[in-house]
Amino acid sequence: MNSQTKIVSLTTLTKKLKQHRKDGKKIAFTNGCFDILHFGHISYLERAKKRNRILVVGLNSDSSIKKIKGPPRPILSQKERAHILAALAAVDYVTIFNDSTPYRLIKTIQPDILIKGADWGDKEVVGSDIVEKNDGRVELIPYIKNFSTTNIIQRIIEKSLVCAK
């Protein structure tokens, strides 16, 4: 499957997931901004993808990121971010959503496994009520310290200031 065919609308995704379920696959879901793809993201997505799972990534739209993170984010457009994610072997589908949380998306696709970073810790994971009601589960994947888009942006700024001197 090439990356173009992995980026799908919610309607198309729902149809594809129905067939995967008939084939005995488990549907795993995660979401995020994935603004500047980095080692932490790759590690996270590879851990989320396990045998017999279809991994769906809900990608925050540009307008959603602006609401959550404020300007000047996102750095990369939703189209660019979607294509980068779709090119990864661990990712089966990418679908873009506009809400500030993926709750409605989770409610529509009804994943078997909801995946978030362990940095969520004791916070309620959005959509966990939907997944657990259907005998699914939430998985928390260990967070790799110092690998976040915010940290990377800060390092770029610091290095550019050193170079400018």
**Domains of the chain, CATH where assigned:** 3-164 (3.40.50.620)
pLDDT score for 120: 62
What are 27-75's pLDDT values in tens digits?
999 999 998 888 889 999 999 998 889 999 999 999 999 999 888 889 9
The residue count of the chain comes to 165
> CA–CA separation, 161 vs 129, rounded Å?
46
Q: What residues contact residue 17 under an 8 Å CB cut-off, 6+ apart?
A: 27, 54, 56, 109
Q: What is the mean pLDDT of residues 20-28?
A: 97
pLDDT score for 148: 72
What are 62-116's pLDDT values in tens digits?
999 999 988 888 999 999 999 999 999 999 999 999 999 999 999 999 999 999 9
> CA–CA separation, 88 vs 116, rounded Å?
18
pLDDT score for 144: 76
> CA–CA separation, 48 vs 61, rounded Å?
21
- Centre a 10 Å sphere on the Cβ of residue 82 and count the other Cβ atoms it contains: 24
Q: What pTM was estimated for this model as a whole?
A: 0.90
Q: Quick one: CA torsion of 80, 119, 151, 46, rounded to 10 degrees?
A: -50
Look up residue 88 and give its two tokens.
């990864």
pLDDT score for 145: 73
Out of 22-31, 53-62, 136-145, 148-157, least confident range? 148-157
pLDDT score for 121: 65
> CA–CA separation, 90 vs 130, rounded Å?
24
- Centre a 10 Å sphere on the Cβ of residue 128 and count the other Cβ atoms it contains: 16
Q: Say whether 74 sits in a helix, a strand or coil.
A: coil
Nearest to 109 by CA among 134, 91, 84: 134
